[in-house]
A = this chain, B = another copy of it.
Amino acid sequence: MKKPATDDELVFLPLGGSGEIGMNLNAYGYGPPDARQWIIVDIGVTFGREDSTPGVDLILPDPTFLEGERDNIIAIVLTHAHEDHIGALGWLWPRLKAPVYATPFTAALVREKLRERGLLEKVPLTEIPLKGRLNLGPFEIDFVTLTHSIPEPNGLAIRTPLGLVWHTGDWKIDPDPLIGETTDEAKLREMADEGILAMVCDSTNVFVEGTTGSESDVRRKLTEVIGKCTGRVAVTAFASNVARVETALFAARAAGRTPCLVGRSMHRIYHAAKGIGLLQDAPEVIDEEEAGTLPDANVLFLCTGSQGEPRAALSRIAKGDHRNVSLRGGDTVIFSSRVIPGNETAIHALYEDFLSRGVELITADDHFIHVSGHPARDELKQMYQWARPRIAIPVHGETRHIREHVKLAQALQIPETIAPKNGDLIRLAPGPVALIDEVPSGRLYVDGSVLVEPDDDAIRDRKRLGADGAVNIALAVNAKNAVVAGPNVSVRGLTMTDDEDMELALEELERSAEAAYAKLSHADRSDDDAIEGAVMRAVRKSAEKLWRKRPLVDVSVLRL
């Protein structure tokens, strides 16, 4: 590896995932301050919420800063295939246009995403074998095998002329992960002996004492729980946890049940897993129609929708709306999953729907049938003992996780620590770790087919429409500025207790519009903007009195 030039620096720049859980995007820069070369590590999404971002499917990190550095981006390197690490690629790649590197399972899922966005032929995607090495300009990257809740979780050992950065990605220490190898401890010790300048590390479970537990313990318990069920059984889990999917398939066979996948992402991940040679010993799955013909005691449905997502399989089954799958008294739903904070209400509503049909529920509160994929405190301590970095940089957490992780690293005598937030440009070398700049960072919303900034009028208007409804007014005005038709008034999302009151309300709005027009000066009557403004204000005022709401009022003046 070449020697660093005198003004070379190594910098770290988180643009997503530091100050939030989800939407991970990190960049490493190397070179003199005015001519850095960059690699991007992961490029993920978070999901829109019906309350704060209605109609928004996905939320992406704002890539504006990196877009300006586009010519200097050598690569986008992906650690693993979870949506919060790869989900933004199809949306943001056209702005960044760098070659992409990933291990086979991740690459299979990435290809599908790119195909959906019409980018499959455009994006140079290189598959790297597990434990492979990549040489990218000043960066030499080793993929290091870890354990997590998805096949092929990799940490990245990023070697530069100014030192070695250990970027963990998402991990836990699972002594028996069922799919994939255990944590590559030998490699970690070897890296530590070489000397790790900085460790950039997962903070998700820093508030959880002890250790996380193993996927194999879940397998034992889940198999036992499924074995005791009578009637139909539906298991819900994250599709990307292929070891868990395999457990459900094995447990089905052991219980004399034929498994049936329900939900699009179950099929998608199942096929991606088969494609890299996983799930070879698992029983074949049948389709939903065929499952419907089997006796209750001989079928197991493996479903998406553990978070109560309204359009997912499980919610439809709970409401009795699913085309092929129905559950009733004597049947059981097993949640082999956790409750992601913020989803409590949706999940409890799902529970209610099932319980009101007499369906039994079994959750991770009842039995050890789910385990986290992120390191609890004792695992973090173990990682620090293995890696012994000079600098600890916690990422992948809300501010409170990152702060707590900094405290933990300090308690473990790590010489330098820093709590980054998105947009912080942090110099790792030379010299002590330091925040040297703040660059633009933020979020973009995937709003139907369009990328929108959070402060866009459209988003603000939709929240208002959702809460307060709309009033639309149209009127036709002739060349002499006389109203010759209308005002026509219609309302959406507003109601009255009975039809008569509604009639009266519409008449009241119409009168307000007419009165507002009547009050306009002659000059204003030839100015459509003036008419629209005056009518809008008058109608809004009337609507506020009628409904105690502030609907959006849209006025259309048709000129003859």
A residues near B (Cβ < 8 Å) are: 19-20, 49-52, 54-55, 207, 341-342, 344-345, 348, 351-352, 355-356, 361, 365, 398-400, 403, 421, 447-452, 456-459, 461-463, 465-470, 472, 474-476, 484-486, 488, 490, 492-497, 546-549, 552, 554, 556-560
Separation in Å of the A396 CB from the closest CB of chain B?
15
CA gap between A548 and B57 in the complex, in Å? 11
Known interface pairs A456-B495, A475-B558; 4 further A-B residue pairs with C-beta atoms within 8 A, sorted by A's residue number: A19-B352, A55-B493, A448-B549, A486-B558
Contacts of A467 in B (CB 8 A): 50, 54-55, 462, 466
What are 22 A-B pairs with beta-carbon distances under 8 A? A49-B51, A50-B51, A50-B467, A342-B344, A355-B399, A355-B400, A449-B546, A450-B495, A456-B495, A458-B492, A465-B465, A465-B466, A470-B492, A472-B472, A472-B556, A476-B558, A488-B556, A488-B557, A488-B558, A490-B554, A492-B554, A558-B558
Separation in Å of the A466 CB from the closest CB of chain B?
2
Closest to A452 in B: B495
On whether the beta carbons of B448 and A492 are closer than 8 Å, the reply is no
Q: A342-B344, A421-B356, A547-B450 are in contact. Are A560 and B476 (CB under 8 A)?
A: yes
CA gap between A415 and B463 in the complex, in Å? 53
On whether the beta carbons of A485 and B476 are closer than 8 Å, the reply is yes
Contacts of A474 in B (CB 8 A): 474, 488, 556, 558
Separation in Å of the A503 CB from the closest CB of chain B?
15
Contacts of A352 in B (CB 8 A): 19-20, 398-399
Closest to A402 in B: B355
On whether the beta carbons of A484 and B560 are closer than 8 Å, the reply is yes
Contacts of A398 in B (CB 8 A): 348, 351-352
Residue with the greatest number of chain B CB neighbours at <10 A, chosen from A458, A459, A552 = A458
On whether the beta carbons of A493 and B462 are closer than 8 Å, the reply is yes
On whether the beta carbons of A361 and B400 are closer than 8 Å, the reply is yes
Contacts of A341 in B (CB 8 A): 344-345, 348
Contacts of A50 in B (CB 8 A): 50-52, 467
On whether the beta carbons of B456 and A55 are closer than 8 Å, the reply is no
Q: What are the 7 A-B residue pairs with the smallest beta carbon separation, nearest first?
A: A466-B466, A55-B467, A50-B51, A474-B474, A462-B493, A458-B495, A465-B465
Separation in Å of the A538 CB from the closest CB of chain B?
18
CA gap between A35 and B496 in the complex, in Å? 34
Residue with the greatest number of chain B CB neighbours at <10 A, chosen from A54, A361, A497 = A54
Separation in Å of the A307 CB from the closest CB of chain B?
13
Contacts of A557 in B (CB 8 A): 488
Closest to A351 in B: B400
CA gap between A493 and B416 in the complex, in Å? 47
CA gap between A485 and B558 in the complex, in Å? 6
On whether the beta carbons of A449 and B548 are closer than 8 Å, the reply is yes
Closest to A354 in B: B399
Closest to A477 in B: B485
